[in-house]
Copies of this chain bind each other. A is one copy, B any other.
């Protein structure tokens, strides 16, 4: 009956209360951001003009970095950061986690376009530690840390570990780059400001369409000499568009709208994870979320779980999960990111949906 992810995603979006995310990704996201914008607002022109320069300045201050550049994508921004550090050191080798975005989602752009070699640190299922870095045999120009480590559920090192990694890199001429696609989302866990976290890094990328919920776009920040070089590479990549204002205006709008809600999202993630952990055959990773995101692993196959979930969405009006990914024959997992929507769902209804899930998962052996 089920037609895979598509059907589950459709049922999720049709539910009265889909629990993850901020809302539908549609033209209303743009229209809302531009509703109060004067039509006379002058476009940026190839990286110049107040609409881009003011936002860059604001983000540099937010991140506590000297300078910031707006990019159409994190893929572009991060490859460029690693290229600049590699050129400066004269070492075409960097290190990152085996499930780093650059390693698994970018068609090997870093290797194919920049000819930069990558050392994969740590096992795929755990965080990079200071010991991993100390044990590394290869000489590298830059270490990239992703906070939180998305593909293992959004785990974070302790702040002390982070500070020790930063100190080690500084004393060993290794540049430290932050993949901060979800940087704002980790500030409640660390109880640190974005700039306190960024102070440990030489360069930082942040995204505006995860917790911030904009349309697309990224900021790359660092010293002025670093960001000036990044502008040259941005043009080379084809990212120095005549007009980026559709993304900049919406990034700014949703930043203002949501930056103070990161604790709300974090608390929602912890509450929802606890409910999942009370279900038979379900366990969250991490056990307690460290940001607004977490994974849920299920001890049943995707093929079995999907129709169960669709039935629950229809019966309770609560959309629990948007998409499932297979993990071997008898297990699957999902990623959940909490945004504005979670607070709209009545907790009693969420709990009712979870109890139904618990019951049905308990019966799975009889069904299979």
* A positions within 8 Å CB-CB of B: 24-31, 34, 37-43, 45, 71-77, 79, 106-109, 112-114, 209, 215-216, 232-233, 235-247, 249
Which chain B residue lies CB-closest to A78?
Answer: B238
Question: Which of A31, A106, A237, A241 gathers the greatest number of chain B CB atoms within 10 Å?
Answer: A237
- On chain B, the residues within 8 Å of A76 by CB distance are 237-239
Is A39 touching B26 in the complex (CB atoms < 8 A)?
yes
- On chain B, the residues within 8 Å of A235 by CB distance are 75, 106-107, 109
User: If the complex has contacts A71-B238, A77-B238, A238-B71, are A27 and B41 also in contact, measured as CB distance less than 8 A?
Assistant: yes
- On chain B, the residues within 8 Å of A45 by CB distance are 25
- On chain B, the residues within 8 Å of A79 by CB distance are 238
Is A106 touching B42 in the complex (CB atoms < 8 A)?
no
A232 to B112, CA, bound (A): 11
Contact of A238 among B34, B41, B232, B239 (CB under 8 A): B239
Instruction: Identify 27 residue pairs between A and B in the complex whose beta-carbon atoms are under 8 Å apart, listed by A's number.
Output: A25-B45, A25-B243, A26-B42, A27-B34, A27-B38, A27-B249, A28-B39, A28-B40, A29-B43, A31-B37, A43-B215, A71-B238, A72-B238, A72-B239, A73-B241, A79-B238, A107-B232, A109-B237, A112-B236, A113-B113, A113-B236, A209-B243, A216-B244, A237-B237, A237-B238, A238-B239, A246-B247
- On chain B, the residues within 8 Å of A216 by CB distance are 241-244
Min Cβ gap A26→B in Å is: 5
Which chain B residue lies CB-closest to A108?
Answer: B236
- On chain B, the residues within 8 Å of A73 by CB distance are 238-241
A109 to B80, CA, bound (A): 12
A106 to B238, CA, bound (A): 8
A242 to B244, CA, bound (A): 15
- On chain B, the residues within 8 Å of A26 by CB distance are 39-43
Min Cβ gap A140→B in Å is: 22
- On chain B, the residues within 8 Å of A37 by CB distance are 27, 31
How many copies of the polypeptide does the oligomer hold?
Answer: 2
Is A109 touching B236 in the complex (CB atoms < 8 A)?
yes
Min Cβ gap A225→B in Å is: 17
- On chain B, the residues within 8 Å of A77 by CB distance are 238
Which chain B residue lies CB-closest to A237?
Answer: B237
- On chain B, the residues within 8 Å of A114 by CB distance are 113
A168 to B30, CA, bound (A): 48
A236 to B74, CA, bound (A): 11
Is B238 touching A75 in the complex (CB atoms < 8 A)?
yes
Min Cβ gap A98→B in Å is: 19
Min Cβ gap A238→B in Å is: 3
Min Cβ gap A164→B in Å is: 32
- On chain B, the residues within 8 Å of A239 by CB distance are 72-73, 76, 237-239
- On chain B, the residues within 8 Å of A72 by CB distance are 72, 238-239, 241
- On chain B, the residues within 8 Å of A244 by CB distance are 216
A45 to B29, CA, bound (A): 14
Contact of A39 among B31, B39, B71, B112 (CB under 8 A): B31
Min Cβ gap A3→B in Å is: 16
A41 to B72, CA, bound (A): 21
A41 to B77, CA, bound (A): 29
A27 to B249, CA, bound (A): 10
- On chain B, the residues within 8 Å of A238 by CB distance are 71-77, 79, 106, 109, 237, 239
